[in-house]
Amino acid sequence: MKTLIAGIVGATLALGGTAYAQEKYPNKPIRMIVGYAPGGGSDIMGRLIAPQITEALGQQVIVENRAGQAQNIAAEFIVRQPADGYTLFLSSAALGVNATLYPKLNYDPVKDFIPVAVFASSANLLMTHPSVPVKNVKEFLALVKKSSSKMNYSSSGSGSTQHLSGEMLKLLVKGEFTHIPYKGTGPSMIALASGEVEFSFSNIPGAQPVLNRVRVLGITSEKRSALMPEVPTMIEAGLPGFVTQTWYGVLVTRGTPQPIVDTLNRVIVNAVKREDFRGKLAQLGADPISESPEYFRKMLAEEIERWGKVVRASGIKP
């Protein structure tokens, strides 16, 4: 009798465990961690994609900002979370830069995350405060080449493509200017608009709130933006190869079950394929991307290699 009861209990527990393991995802709210302050490009993109996931999965996706150290604080937080798909990492191109820029990270950009989907990319704008006596990129370059002209430029943080854009410019024109990192694009743009710094690079989504208070000189894409066709590229201004873009994607903690990764990828890709969502990206000056997790994984590896060369050549330190 004891043996029979033990068998029944064991079978019941086994069935309960199986049911739990196969529990439908998601069955509770999901957090999306953004590594920058509110108002910047990453924050805007996170709050743009989060409702799409909410609508498709039927569970609220709550955006949470954990700013600092070019999203390293957010990345460190993510790797400490359970690998269950309930904590998403809304990352930008800084993840690829940080792999080389920071010699001692408390996480591995490749081994500790599973890329789910990259859904948008955006070039940077070169902008100056109106007090700077220039009207175009050529005049700006002439000004920074003067030994007496030592200006400050802001960025969303050390390791951001905004920071790297400034360092690339310094290498090309051998100018004298100082990098001032902020905790996100929002604070960086406020600093530029208020005259706290003389110039800045920023992605278009993050720059939009201050465009009427600054002077836009150029864009770091290969072609002019359809949103701002009057703005020449840095290549047109006489800097061949000056192309920097940031991307926005969703990652999860290593060990997250593949079915959850596939579900999230499908939801994001389907959202990007919709005309209404693509229209919202276009209004922000961002280009849509709808690809597989494998595409994102390869892209991240390429980004680490590409930005690693820039970091080593410039000798910049965080």
Cβ neighbours for 293, distance < 8 A, ≥ 6 positions apart: 114, 115, 116, 117, 261, 262, 265
State both tokens at 231.
């703005």
Spell out the domain ranges in the chain. 27-122+245-314, 123-219
Length of the chain as a residue count: 318
Stated pTM of the model: 0.84
For the chain, strand residue ranges (E) read: 30-34, 61-65, 87-92, 113-128, 151-155, 177-181, 199-203, 215-219, 245-253, 287-288
Of 225, 261, 227, 217, nearest in space to 114 by CA: 261
**pLDDT at position 310 over 90:** no
**pLDDT at position 52 over 90:** yes
Q: CATH: 1.20.1250.20, 3.40.50.970, 3.40.190.150, 3.30.70.100. Which one for 27-122+245-314?
A: 3.40.190.150
Question: In the prediction, which pLDDT does 34 show?
Answer: 98
Question: Are 27-122+245-314 and 123-219 equal in CATH topology?
Answer: yes
User: Between residues 15 and 302, which one has the greater pLDDT?
Assistant: 302
Domain 123-219 has CATH 3.40.190.10: yes
Q: What is the pLDDT of residues 179-212, one digit of tens each?
A: 999 988 999 999 999 999 999 999 999 999 999 9
Count other C-beta atoms under 10 Å from residue 278's C-beta. 17
Instruction: Kindly list the distances between the CA atom of residue 268 and the CA atoms of 41, 59, 193, 264, 279, in Å, as whole numbers in the listed order.
Output: 18, 14, 34, 6, 15
Q: What is the pLDDT of residues 203-239, one digit of tens each?
A: 999 999 999 999 999 999 999 998 999 999 999 999 9
Count other C-beta atoms under 10 Å from residue 110's C-beta. 15
